[in-house]
Chains A and B, each alone.
Chain A
Amino acid sequence: MRENVWKSLSLLLVALCIALAGCSNDNKGSTSEGTTETSGAGGGDGEIKVGILHSLSGTMAISEVSVKEAEMMAIDEINAKGGVLGKKLVPVVEDGASDWPTFAEKARKLISEDKVATVFGGWTSASRKAMLPVFEELNGLLWYPVQYEGLEASPNIFYTGATTNQQIVPAVTWLLENRGKKFFLLGSDYVFPRTANKIIKEQLKAEGGELAGEEYTPLGHTDYATIISKIKAAKPDVVFNTLNGDSNVAFFKQLKDAGITAKDLTTLSVSVAEEEIRGIGVDVLEGHFAAWNYYQTTDTPANKTFVENYKKKYGADRVTADPIEAGYDAVYLWAAAVEKAGSVDVAKVKEAAKGLEWDAPEGKIKIDGDNQHIYKTVRIGEVQADGQFKELWNSGDPVKPDPYLKGYEWAGSLSSGN
């Protein structure tokens, strides 16, 4: 008996060691590129440390790993061209582990211990909300690369993804004009879909739409039979889909099985990009719509090189998508701001970033000095048989970011709450 106890204990220990070894390896991989000892803000003489903080494990790893890779690629490209201010960028990679308190803790570590000049990271709104107080307290700088629900503008965060008036609001208007008035709102049960749908409901009221139903499912929900029955009973023209993550796979697979295709019912998703299409299956998604600012098929010279380099670096079967591109942009925008400011000091970088323009893969983008969001072009696309999007409509010029929707009369009641 006694022997058994020891055996199992030692076994557990071995298991633990293996797990720990795995973790420490990750850290080594990220910092070993730095050759000299570093000290002071932003690293030593010949280098500048930058933080990368994404979920590399847990549920969100599915999306965030690719963004991390795009950011690493941008850093490598900048280093190959001689770095920033003549110094090399050294990435310090941390794992947020899909756990919001961990994001806050690691953000604190990056700023206070590693003394990074800036941090690129986050995906879910929950992770951003967890990091926000840390960056404001320590006066750090965060570049957040994902479309989100708006109603926020922290002086310490640059938002390189779309806010609502660059994705959801124009998409609703387009659907009302082209696809019908009766909307069914379906989303995951957390802050982004609930806020987005609050905005959509106000907009429907103002622009003559009609609400056929509104449903939320827990994150990770896998059975949509009942929801699909409800959709069938409500007979909407459009399903506006704000489901996030794996639920999309279950929803679209089961929608097709229930005999409903894109021909019978229009759906528009705001969290399904090229990367997700591969996991859901093209046969299931063909003909459905999405709204983003960038597609792999977006036709600009910058995008051609971006896609080529990304595939060369990470494999020919990989695809690029909106948040991947927004993460890539973030690194370049920060580097440009630093060059312009001549320093990595947060206040100087922020000042220099105002009105900064850059030819991104998605086209010309510009930082809005007031709310630190980005001017972006809105694009609505349809999923094709090859898993890529065909652009059906775009806004022409980049749209000015308006996180509090001040430019929309019907949105008056929304921003007052904040």
Chain B
Amino acid sequence: MDVIVLQLFNGISVSSILLLIALGLAITFGLMKVINMAHGELIMIGAYSAYVVQNLFTSYMPSSMFNWYFVAAIPVSFIVAFLMGLLLETTLIRFLYGRPLDSLLATWGIGLMLQQLARTIFGAPNVGVTSPSWLNGGVTIMGDVVLPYKRLFIIALVCLCLFAMYVYIYRSHSGRRMRAVMQNREMAACLGISTRRVDAVTFAIGSGIAGIAGCALTLMGPIGPSIGTYYIVDAFMVVVLGGVGKLVGTVFGAFGIGMSNTLFEYWTTASLGKVLVFLCIVAFLQWRPMGLIAMRSRSLD
């Protein structure tokens, strides 16, 4: 019984992490159709931003404030990755809309450059980020089952990000403009929307969310120049399985993969579990090539 509850929680936790790393990509790849291979490096930028904020707090703030560095790190990571995304969009990505293969190669190259840049600035070895003490430990429920605060925190953070994105995309004016441009660019342009600006801001928001993911991942995993490569495949898998173009699909995709990954891994081994998950995804996409939730659009592709 203990194990079932624990594995269920682990499944939800893994799903929430997957969702967090895929959310940004759901915008840049899902909505904008840019095969953004540099997404992983935007996650890395978020992680390093958290590291820098931590160091600033240790150097310039009284040590009693140290525990709050993480609260500051989340918006900083978002802003740094947002600006990076904006820079990428205006200098490169905007020339590559509608050319998926070119954008794949170009963003992959950008990814490599960013990795090497991180290596030059921060050095090749991993850096350490000390988690704030209020996130250490966990809630004990039912004897042996411990739910770590960090995993709970990430679940809450994902919910918050989802909610904020929902409000932005479906309830705000700029979100409405964004959806209009993504669904029918010509029509939106005719109605006087500056599609250039919408593109740039949308890509930057997607990048910013990747930054938040990177910041949160410092709690769980390594922080090094190549961490992006560990998450990029999972992120694409989630978006493709969920159905390109729909945020709800991404949520379902993340939960499908997270839960089945945890279960398969428990029944078999980590390597075999991953293989089984891949097999299931391939089989599923054979059956429904558009993913879990298909995007319906009236625009002419």
Contact A229 B220 (CB under 8 A): no
Contact B7 A229 (CB under 8 A): yes
Q: Is B67 an interface residue (CB 8 A)?
A: no
The 8 A CB mask of A263-296 against B (1 = contact, 0 = none) is 0000000000001101111110000000000000
Q: Is A4 an interface residue (CB 8 A)?
A: yes
Contact A257 B150 (CB under 8 A): yes
The 8 A CB mask of B108-137 against A (1 = contact, 0 = none) is 011011011001000111111111000011
Complex: chain A residue closest to B150, CB-CB: A257
The 8 A CB mask of A29-63 against B (1 = contact, 0 = none) is 00000000000000000000000000011110111
Contact A57 B95 (CB under 8 A): no
Q: Is B187 an interface residue (CB 8 A)?
A: no
Q: A65 to chain B: which residues have CB within 8 Å?
A: 123-125
Q: Is B146 an interface residue (CB 8 A)?
A: yes
Contact A8 B95 (CB under 8 A): yes
Q: A250 to chain B: which residues have CB within 8 Å?
A: 220-222
Complex: chain B residue closest to A220, CB-CB: B230
Contact B119 A61 (CB under 8 A): yes
Partner of B106, one of A12, A66, A218: A12
Contact A225 B262 (CB under 8 A): yes
The 8 A CB mask of B129-168 against A (1 = contact, 0 = none) is 1110000111010001010111100000000000000000
**Cα–Cα, bound, A30→B8 (Å):** 54
Say yes or no: A230-B266 contact (C-beta < 8 A), given A12-B106, A22-B116: yes
Q: Is B89 an interface residue (CB 8 A)?
A: no
Q: B96 to chain A: which residues have CB within 8 Å?
A: 8
B64 smallest CB distance to A (angstroms)? 18
Contact A223 B126 (CB under 8 A): no
Say yes or no: A7-B95 contact (C-beta < 8 A), given A215-B269, A250-B221: yes
Contact A279 B223 (CB under 8 A): yes
Q: Is A254 an interface residue (CB 8 A)?
A: yes
Contact B220 A246 (CB under 8 A): no
**Cα–Cα, bound, A12→B6 (Å):** 49
Q: Is A417 an interface residue (CB 8 A)?
A: no
Q: A253 to chain B: which residues have CB within 8 Å?
A: 131, 219-221
Q: A230 to chain B: which residues have CB within 8 Å?
A: 266
Q: Is A201 an interface residue (CB 8 A)?
A: no
Contact B125 A278 (CB under 8 A): yes
State the interface size on chain A (CB cutoff 8 A).
Answer: 53
Complex: chain B residue closest to A257, CB-CB: B148
Q: B123 to chain A: which residues have CB within 8 Å?
A: 65
Q: Is A128 an interface residue (CB 8 A)?
A: no
Say yes or no: A258-B269 contact (C-beta < 8 A), given A222-B221, A225-B262, A253-B220: no
Contact A229 B6 (CB under 8 A): yes
State the interface size on chain B (CB cutoff 8 A).
Answer: 60
Complex: chain A residue closest to B265, CB-CB: A226
Interface hit among B10-18, B27-35, B208-216, B248-256: B10-18
Contact A223 B222 (CB under 8 A): no
Contact A279 B10 (CB under 8 A): no
Contact A281 B130 (CB under 8 A): yes
User: Which of A18, A226, A233 neighbours the largest number of chain B CB atoms within 10 Å of its CB?
Assistant: A226
Q: B125 to chain A: which residues have CB within 8 Å?
A: 62-63, 65-66, 275-276, 278-279
Complex: chain A residue closest to B103, CB-CB: A8
Q: Is A385 an interface residue (CB 8 A)?
A: no
Say yes or no: A279-B271 contact (C-beta < 8 A), given A8-B102, A229-B3, A229-B7: no
Q: Is A221 an interface residue (CB 8 A)?
A: yes
Contact B230 A246 (CB under 8 A): yes
Say yes or no: A225-B270 contact (C-beta < 8 A), given A61-B225, A249-B126, A275-B125: no
Contact A220 B229 (CB under 8 A): yes
Partner of B128, one of A62, A229, A281: A281
Say yes or no: A15-B109 contact (C-beta < 8 A), given A59-B229, A246-B222: yes
**Cα–Cα, bound, A277→B182 (Å):** 46
Q: Is A356 an interface residue (CB 8 A)?
A: no
Say yes or no: A59-B226 contact (C-beta < 8 A), given A223-B14, A232-B144: yes
- Report the 8 A-B pairs with minimum CB-CB distance, sorted nearest first: A279-B126, A8-B95, A257-B148, A249-B222, A246-B222, A225-B10, A217-B270, A65-B124
Q: Can you spell out 24 A-B residue pairs with CB atoms less than 8 angstroms apart?
A: A4-B95, A15-B110, A19-B112, A57-B115, A57-B119, A62-B225, A66-B125, A215-B269, A222-B221, A226-B7, A226-B265, A227-B265, A229-B7, A246-B230, A254-B220, A257-B138, A257-B150, A259-B137, A259-B138, A259-B140, A276-B126, A279-B223, A280-B128, A281-B130
Given A59-B226, A223-B220, output 8 extra A-B contacts at Cβ < 8 Å: A19-B109, A57-B116, A61-B225, A189-B271, A226-B270, A253-B131, A275-B125, A279-B222
Which residues of B come within 8 Å of A, CB atoms? 3, 6-7, 10, 13-14, 17, 91-92, 95-96, 102, 106, 109-110, 112-113, 115-116, 119, 123-131, 136-138, 140, 144, 146, 148-151, 217, 219-227, 229-231, 262, 265-266, 269-271, 273-274
